[in-house]
Amino acid sequence: MKSWIESANKPESGFPVQNIPFGIASLKAGPDEDVRRCVTAIGECVVDLAKLETCGLISTGVDDFGPVFDKPELNDFMSLGNVVWKRVRTALIELLKEDGNSALRENGELRQQVIIPMENAVMHLPFRIAEYTDFYAGRQHATNVGTMFRGAENALPPNWLHIPIGYNGRASTVVVSGTPVYRPNGQLKAPDAQMPHFGPCKRLDIELEMGAVVGVSSNMGEPVTVAQADEMIFGYVLLNDWSARDIQAWEYQPLGPFQAKAFATSISPWIITRLALEPFRVSTPEREKPLLDYLKEPGPMLYDINLEVEMQSSTASTPTTISRTNYTNLYYSAAQQLAHHTSSGCKMNTGDLLGSGTISGPEKSGFGSLLEISWGGKEPLKLEDGEERTFIEDGDKLTLRGWAQGEGYRIGFGECAGTILPAPDIGSNQKGHRHEN
């Protein structure tokens, strides 16, 4: 399937007509530069969905709901569920494929209004994030970290093979790709010190993750099955859950991560829909121990998605790829995580974000954090320009990329990038240090 927009047909394009992701964009200049609009991506362009909805070329088909794309966030659209998601996606494919509906292709005036070069668009957070939960669902990562701190014989906690472990994070500091991240301050304690001190994190790290975006809400007191949970998921984003390892080491017992993870989580600006990823479904790994019935899957629940991480210092001319792995290295799928989240009767909302946990492959070249790559700082990573890293330094830029490779096309996720800025002065006025979403 090809598009009449030629840039979408390049084999390396992440946004062919088979993708149809959803995001929020504004223009870089012009009378509407401050207006955020719902968009999709096709090749090297974004498409204004509000204008297509206004002229009747796309519709949710839900008469009593009203327009959904003239909004600065995708939540209203996401809340309408699978039938509507599929209806809109099908209409967009028909408008953008080369032998489809000609209403847009043959209307030059409308094309000029609707199709915007990607370089003229500014991407924003694609949805209003209701809550954020981060899981710990990568077995290799959990094994690596456990081995470092508890030894190989006690690497996995006793519950790990039975339950998707997670913690509730902060939705307020989830930011879109490109937003600078300030190095966090926190309470630290050296192993040989009698008292902690307060200061900038010195062991700042990334976590290569995927984020599942909940579209359809659930009811309080009503658990959902894994199959129902899968249907509730609107789509997926790349996710970097920045981590202050030294702050976490002091604070995490007995309740787990707190300020070590609360300062920033970056996501990519495009939500890649579950519908676009259907051809890439694969099964989760064989279970070492049988799961309880409520976590058993009715079919393949993971996706074959290639993932990689680049690191570039402020003085380097080119980035260094420091990790290549795949989404299939998770032990628990997002649907299982979501089903478990509701198992107590917890209500899930439109716009909830579920982080997968760090995705590490079986080899060092596929580890998803610097903690693992440098093995706790003992094995420095050498970048292409000769610099070495154990953890992230100020000015370093980290970029996550992902794509599912089809036959002659790829479903791209775009980038999830962030650059580290120095920690704010302790006690200084923080008004100038707020993240912009």
Cite the active site residues: 141
Q: What gap in Å lies between CA 85 and CA 83, rounded to an integer?
A: 6
Alpha helices in 104-181 (DSSP H): 108-114, 139-150
The owner of tokens 């292709």 is 105
Q: What gap in Å lies between CA 317 and CA 335, rounded to an integer?
A: 41
Alpha helices in 185-278 (DSSP H): 226-232, 245-251, 259-262, 274-277
Q: Which of 145, 165, 166 is nearest to 370 (CA)?
A: 145
Alpha helices in 151-283 (DSSP H): 226-232, 245-251, 259-262, 274-277
Q: What is the separation of C-alpha 410 from the centre of its chain, rounded to a whole number of angstroms?
A: 18
Q: What gap in Å lies between CA 50 and CA 185, rounded to an integer?
A: 42
Q: What gap in Å lies between CA 300 and CA 274, rounded to an integer?
A: 13
User: Tell me, what DSSP letter sits at residue 328?
Assistant: G
H or E stretch at 168: strand 166-168
Q: What gap in Å lies between CA 98 and CA 6, rounded to an integer?
A: 9
Alpha helices in 263-333 (DSSP H): 274-277
Q: Please classify residue 298 by burial: count the beta carbons closer than 10 Å to its beta carbon, then call 0-12 exposed, 13-18 middle and 19+ buried.
A: exposed
Q: What gap in Å lies between CA 37 and CA 124, rounded to an integer?
A: 10
Q: What gap in Å lies between CA 136 and CA 359, rounded to an integer?
A: 9
Where in 305-389 does DSSP place strands (E)? 306-312, 320-326, 353-355, 381-382, 388-389
Residue type, 231: E
Report how far apart, in Å, the C-alpha atoms of 165 and of each of 158, 160, 213 are.
11, 7, 18
Contact of 118 with 44, CB cutoff 8 Å:
yes
